[in-house]
Structure 1
Amino acid sequence: MAENARTEDPNYRAVPVERIGKKHYRATGANGATLDFGQGEGMLTPVELLLAAIAGCSAVDVDVVTSRKVEPETFEVLSSAIKQNEDGAVRLDDVEVSFKVAFPAGAEGEKAQKMVDRLIKLSAEKDCTVSRTVEHATKVTFINENA
């Protein structure tokens, strides 16, 4: 991929994606972690990855703080949306992120449980880069480097 001045920016983020096979792709993170996705048995689709990224971003925000108090007994986050077709152009709308989080009985569990609503709100309004990016009009540019 082409290097440019953007790559010198300390806030620059990039994830290369390579084709592994028919409808099978691999994303590689900056730390070398990989995630396979695509279409077919056992793979998440790109749309499912987007929903997972939205849920995952807020899940991390809530989990990091609450688990300092106590480990949760239940920690499930569901990200859902409605697929819209606007004259042949498709997108998601009405994205909803639902949390089901429960902690053990006791003082620490109660403290952690009381934090959940506030942490979800902070994540939605300030901390979750993924959902905030989706919510705001974000410029996306596609470049054919072979052209």
Structure 2
Amino acid sequence: MAKRLWVERGEDGTWEGHSDEGAVIKFGRGEGLFTPGDLLQLALAGCAGMSSQFAVEHALGEGKGAKVVVNAQYSDDDDAFLSFDEQVSIDGTDAHLSEEDAAKLEERMRRHIDKSCTIKHTLVRETPVRMNIKIRH
């Protein structure tokens, strides 16, 4: 069964996302808040980071991880993102990787992300969204 997620408007005008497991995230429009579009980009970046974690820790040691920056191309006319560019960076200087070891790590990370990143899988194909609106009266 899928995890139940929902959002509700807070008294201060912000929005809160909730899960049955108790996770909460505040978002909205304004200073210091992520927008829904920001959350989508963070989900893509987080998915790449988490998917590649095993490969990074195996090569560099426990607790090491990637920094993933996502930039989006946005169209005002379509009110939609047209593309996303991810930059995955690893600081491997402490491990003194050879060129060959760095290339192997890059390939392992790419394979892990391509295999395990649900957000990337979802965004690269057309994904239908069904909406049902109920109004109690």
4+ long deviations beyond 6 Å:
none
Please give the per-residue CA displacement for 1:100-133, whole angstroms capped at 9, x wherever unaligned: 11222247xx85873233322431x321111111
TM normalised by structure 1 equals 0.75
- Does the 8 Å CA contact 1:15/1:27 hold for their aligned counterparts? yes
Segments of structure 2 that go 5 or more residues without pairing to the other structure are none
1:60 CA displacement:
0.4
Provide the rounded CA distance (Å) in 1 between the counterparts of 2:87 and 2:38: 15
Which amino acid is 2:33 matched to? M
1:95 and 2:79 are equivalent in the alignment: no
Segments of structure 1 that go 5 or more residues without pairing to the other structure are 1-9
Q: Relative to total residues, which structure has the larger strand share, 1 or 2?
A: 1
- Does the 8 Å CA contact 1:79/1:96 hold for their aligned counterparts? yes
Provide the rounded CA distance (Å) in 2 between the counterparts of 1:117 and 1:126: 12
CA RMSD of aligned residues (A): 2.4
Provide the rounded CA distance (Å) in 2 between the counterparts of 1:141 and 1:22: 29
Aligned residue in 1 for 2:5? 15
TM normalised by structure 2 equals 0.80
Aligned residue in 2 for 1:133? 122
Distance 1:90 1:58, change over 3 A: same
Please give the per-residue CA displacement for 1:57-108, whole angstroms capped at 9, x wherever unaligned: 0100112332245143x7311011111134xx3100121111111222247x
Provide the rounded CA distance (Å) in 2 between the counterparts of 1:112 and 1:34: 37
Which amino acid is 2:67 matched to? E
Q: Secondary structure at the match of 2:126?
A: coil
Aligned residue in 1 for 2:21? 31
How many matched pairs? 131
User: Which of 20, 35, 39 matches 1:49?
Assistant: 39
Aligned residue in 2 for 1:40? 30
Matches within 5 A, 1:97-136: 97-103=86-92, 104-106=94-96, 114-123=104-113, 125-136=114-125
